[in-house]
Amino acid sequence: AEYTDRGVSSFDDDGFSLIGGIGSDENASNIPYVAWCWKAGGAAVSNSDGSITAQVSANQTAGFSIATYSGGSGTVGHGLGKKPSLIIEKKRGTTSDWLVTTDVIDGSMDYLRLNTTAAAASAVISAPTSTVFTPNIGASTVVAYCWAEIEGYSKIGSYAGNGNVDGTFVYCGFKPAWLLVKRTDLGSSSYNWWIVDSSRSPVNGSTLSLYANLINAEISIDGWDFLSNGFKARNSAPNRNSSSGTYIFMAFAESPFQTANAK
């Protein structure tokens, strides 16, 4: 369940601040850390687009919003102005899984658990719309992180592996800076969530990887190439590039075309 952590003292206009000597999870002495930050819309405002009133902070330009709400039966407004492709929900007051709900695997609503290796399962809920989504986590006090694709900045989808060290090329329309990958198909319940980024591994072919579902230290492995318009696996391992595997991914751009083209 959520708790108060004193290590982070504030979120700032240009980053975040830490308190020295406090917070071993994010500020222990002489320990390397990585942080991935998404900018929402500032202070949350009340949103009554759904049948459940939520407090929502939304950044429509970046396709990202944070919603907090209580309840489970009904719909919740997300504030994005377009349909989200992926939603992560977490109960705040109790031990629970991090549910990842999406329709990018096969067009229907499915869910995975960000904190486990479980394969995808069908979510018996309605698909999100440009204004609301249906909670997939049951009655509770919940936080939800919602992402909608933005051309030239973010890509959320799935790909099929090819079982070759020259892996399947996945088109994003930009060079990724950050990538999340998880095998989703039946029988893939032992495969972790990969997180790789160009800040820790600026050179292709030797990628430092972390697992979202584990507390393990990062590993160095020939895993991924970030290309000018997408990415590909450089390993035939079943957790990222099996010829019988289906994978979900979430990627964000190194230099977003949205800014470059002033769209």
Report the predicted TM-score, pTM, of the whole model to 2 decimal places. Answer: 0.94
60-77: pLDDT as tens digits: 999 999 999 997 789 999
Residue at token pair 């069908």: 122
pLDDT mean over 186-206: 88
CA distance 56 to 58: 6
Tell me the HSE value of 117 on the side-chain side, using a 13 A CA sphere: 10
- Say if residues 213 and 116 touch (Cβ distance below 8 Å): yes
83-114: pLDDT as tens digits: 999 999 999 999 999 999 999 999 999 999 99
φ, ψ for residue 72 (rounded to 5)? -145, -20
Helix (H) or strand (E) holding 149: none
Mean pLDDT of the chain, nearest integer: 92
pLDDT of residue 231: 96
146-157: pLDDT as tens digits: 999 999 999 999
